[in-house]
Chain A
Amino acid sequence: MRAFVSLARAMFKGFLRDRTSLFFTLFFPLFFIIIFGTVFSDQGAAKQKVELVGEVPLISSLPADARAGLDEVFQLSTGDDLGAAVESVRKGDLAAAVQQQGDTIEVHYSAADQVGSATVLGVLNSFIGQANIAATGSPPKYTLSQQTVEDASLKAIQYVTPGMIGYGIAIGATFGAAMTLITWRDKKLLRRLRLAPISTASVVGSRVVVSLLVALVQLVIFIGVASLPFLGLKLTGSWWMAVPLTLAGTLAFLSIGLFVGAIAKTAEGGAALANLITLPMAFLSGAFIPLEVAPGWIQGVAKVLPMGWLVTGLKDVMVRGQGPGAALLPIAILLAFSVVVGAIATRFFKWDKA
């Protein structure tokens, strides 16, 4: 027990004092959380830029709440020069230029930006429709009540955080295990330990415990920072299931790290191999980009990757409001993966370089 604690302490101190490992396991994912969380805080399509040329009473006389609704989708500006405004539309700087002559609303838009122009036309049409109904003096017969489903805000931080937790845990565990194995073997520390009266279980167990501990530290820091007001992560119901998910994910990537450490001969080769495995996996698993917008084949690939299960499980419980049961299948798959890859790694394990 004393040997085990001592080894774990030595490894943990080594981790905390190594700037490179700290950077990649903590600051790098944190950096992504902050960048994506702030830059894309206005989620959804950017507002359409619409210029009102001259007086447009239909819009300028709108009641405050209706005007606020319009401002949600349009970035309105005003001008007097129709020619200049149309030229801006042509260049793509404006989505549309709007003019009112008597009771006719004239919209100048570019067919090149179909989405933008369709948005503008649709919104303006509905405003005109409402204005027409209002002009008849009778109350509208149908009303549209809106209710969003699942993650209420759809802000970027909601999917960036689970993705980066998954990625951060993956590289932390993979590199931690691989580098310990490679450098200890290279420096003959492994052989030195083999000649000390300690069990192999102490050596392996301490590495596992340190990795689990590091992963929990990552989880706490990432969630803590993402929940700061300027990033505004909103956790849903059974987010605490992220803890067992994180632990299971750590074991899965520890086994990958042990495998890398067993077959790589040099630290450089091991780092390259670990990156070669974790980086593409991160892209294919929805860690960087939401799987929902990814092509279908990526969604399929994500189903066979441990990081895919980890990230999807984390999203389900942390931001999609799913119950604790949603994490059970990912946890089971991650644990099974750990056992299989761990067994393979054991077969390739060498105490010595020679």
Chain B
Amino acid sequence: MTAMQPAVGASTSSDMTINLGPQHPSTHGVLRLMVALDGEYVKSCRPVIGYLHRGLERMMAARPYRQSVPFTDRLDYCASLNSNLAISQAIERIGGMAVPERAQYLRVMLCEMNRIASHLIFFGTYAADIGATTAFLYAFRERERLLDLLEAYTGARLTYNWIRPGGVASDMPEGYAQAVCAFLDGFLKELDAYDTLLTKNPIFRVRTEGVGIISPEKAIAHGASGPVLRGSGVNIDLRRTEPYDAYPRMQFDVPVRTEGDCLARYLVRVEEMRQSARIIRQCLREMPEGEHWGKQPKVFRPAAGEAYSRTESPRGELSIYLVSDGTANPVRVRVRGPSFVHLSMLHELVRGVKVADMIAILGSLDTVLGEVDR
């Protein structure tokens, strides 16, 4: 490069540094991006996180194991049940608890319902990031119906604290299966319409196709997971590769796209909603009778050791690692959130793109700051 062309990332007097956030319409939470712009082009971007850091890991480590479940609600607040599942599994593994079969089905059903709710948020906010405001409201209408259903079962709309070590807090209310089926019938029809609104829109396509391409090698080396990894053509879904709970008995497809661009990640998530609906129906159909709650010790003191769970949250691999020293409180609770890892890729993806593309790429990673900052 000559002296007239400064290297990418090098700062010149024509650069403009913008702080995108922590208050900005499209950072989806309190994320701050320090962006150096050359006109419309992004020269460098440094995410600044931690605005939502509450020390959840330390707080969980300061209490008995089973009291840490409510904290996980505050990790990925768009999909609390999936976080509940991750911590419950880790605690069950370290304490050697068994989960009754019916509870396993109930868990899978709840997690998939939450996955749909979470992907609907993605669908809506992504459309808003690209500039289409109407899809946002449609997505939230469906999510509202879903949250009503979850509220009818768990009593909460966002922080459920419902999947607990040993099972789920209680069995389904009467007539719940019919209500869920009725919702799914309507939802799948609506989803096709919403999908058409965006997917068949040429402007949406030119904004997302070929933008923010992540190669499969790069996705793996950066530890990407979930739809980001599958959008890059890597067929890894922990519900398949390391199945847990009732997932081994479920028939579903893992959507994979090879393009690796924003559109691929979007399409993977939309297809996952359909597959989630399929899994929920199977759960309701095949759910055995029985207990929703396994036998549990009164005082929970697992032997010294370590255990971890790996679960497929809507955003990717959510894994929780527990270290026990034989006392009632864990030594360390470690939460590995997918959003944290995806956000760490952002600065490489946005280098040299335009501002609008940066927003599109950030949106397609679908980060939740509660999980990033913990």
Partners in one complex: no
